[in-house]
Amino acid sequence: MSKRNYKFCFGPWNISEGQDPYGSPVRPAQTFDWKLAALKKLGFDAMMFHDDDAVPDIDGKSDAQVRKESKLLKKKLADAGVAAEMVAPRLWFDPRTIDGAYTSNDPKCRKYAIERSLRCIDVANHLGTDLIVLWLAREGSYIRESKNARKCVDYLVEAIDAMLAHDKKIRISIEPKPDAKRVGCLIESAHSILAGLDTADDIDFAMSFGKLWSLHLNDQNGLKFDQDKPFGSANLRVAFNQVRALERNGYGKNGEYVCFDVHPFRPTKVEHWLAHLDNSRRTFLKLVAKARSFDEKQAKALIKDRNYAALDQLVIEHLLGR
Ligand code: XUL
Ligand code: MN
């Protein structure tokens, strides 16, 4: 499979300004047009969006205004030959989502979360994508006793049902759990790692049900805040196994994109600002070549002999290039 057999994608937030939990931005904010031009320059195929990446300050705008701005964006993307991959409602900034969005204890806040999600679907429609991503950012609890988790499951189902009813064509990719026919999932390397899981197993699991509808590749060094490092930068072998899982399941056959939800390192100079995106794709493609040239026959023989020490070394030496 050549480079063109995978389609690549990132979002405007992936050209970020360097803010992290310990400090403020260190690079100047760029316009959307600058980011779109950068995406084109890098030769990526699609852009992914939060609803307010597509329509800034969406909560303060009328439906007509949202339609107008989304359509203008759609035209801009079409002129650039770039597809919109997905739209995700950003349900973790507004004060009404402070105690969770769909699972807030406050019914007015739950109503806001659902209404915002329906608007997000309208934006997706205007942009010409049927894929909605739900990152359930604040749907847990700080105080276990503050929420009835049994009820919260019902609230989540209610919210997803309202979205499916709003538009008969949309598909919802939730992070991280697959469900019914029009609900699949998006797996993100860092999120699996933070949950103590192996992302490659999550990919195999989701794809065994035909549910992996999008993918956020990145990396994560241990259990700290969501680092979104370049793909493969913390653990090449774990990255290799993710690519192997994608290869064996034929990811991309139904038009799915490989999205890199990666951020530049904070010390990154402005002139190196896009390197993390290009590097993630380079690493990905090199690992595709590694996955395809892996000696599967020998691996199979070693597995048959239960010689896992030799299998382990076979992988290491393959990755080292001997
Ligand atoms: C947050 C994250 C988001 C979601 C989309 O950690 O990864 O980008 O993927 O809302
Ligand atoms: Mn993500």
Cα separation, 114 vs 108, in Å, equals 10
Cα separation, 224 vs 202, in Å, equals 20
pLDDT band, residue 4 (cuts 50/70/90): low
Give the pLDDT of residue 178. 45
Give the pLDDT of residue 273. 97
Q: Is 204 in the pocket of ligand 1 (CB under 6 A)?
A: no
Give the pLDDT of residue 284. 98
Across 13-31, average pLDDT: 96
Q: Is 24 a residue whose pLDDT tops 70?
A: yes
Q: Is 135 a residue whose pLDDT tops 50?
A: yes
Query: Measuring CA to CA, how many Å separate 230 from each of 218, 251, 279, 283, 292?
Result: 5, 20, 7, 9, 22
Q: Is 102 in the pocket of ligand 1 (CB under 6 A)?
A: no
Give the pLDDT of residue 150. 86
Best residue among 132, 172, 188, 194 to mutate for probing ligand 1, ranked by most atoms within 8 Å of CB: 188
Residue 8: in which H helix or E strand, if any? strand 7-10
Q: Is 216 in the pocket of ligand 1 (CB under 6 A)?
A: yes
Query: Measuring CA to CA, how many Å separate 45 from each of 37, 83, 173?
Result: 12, 7, 20
Give the pLDDT of residue 193. 96
**Atom 2 in ligand 1: residue holding the nearest Cα:** 135
Residues 77-123 have pLDDT tens digits of 999 999 999 999 999 999 999 999 999 999 999 999 999 999 999 99
Q: Is 1 a residue whose pLDDT tops 70?
A: no
Across 17-40, average pLDDT: 96
Q: Is 177 a residue whose pLDDT tops 60?
A: no
Q: Is 306 a residue whose pLDDT tops 60?
A: yes
Ion ligand 2 contact residues with beta carbon within 5 A: 188, 216, 261
Place of tokens 């739900």: 134
Across 151-172, average pLDDT: 95
199 CA to middle of ligand 2, Å?
13
Where are any strands of DSSP class E within 45-146? Answer: 46-50, 83-88, 131-135
Across 172-191, average pLDDT: 83
**In whole numbers, what is the pLDDT of the chain averaged over residues?**
95
**Atom 4 in ligand 1: residue holding the nearest Cα:** 135
258 CA to middle of ligand 1, Å?
14
Cα separation, 85 vs 127, in Å, equals 9
**Atom 9 in ligand 1: residue holding the nearest Cα:** 135
Residues 240-262 have pLDDT tens digits of 999 999 999 999 999 999 999 99
Q: Is 181 a residue whose pLDDT tops 90?
A: no
Across 305-317, average pLDDT: 97
Across 178-206, average pLDDT: 91
pLDDT band, residue 141 (cuts 50/70/90): confident
Give the pLDDT of residue 144. 86
**Atom 1 in ligand 1: residue holding the nearest Cα:** 135
Q: Is 261 in the pocket of ligand 1 (CB under 6 A)?
A: yes
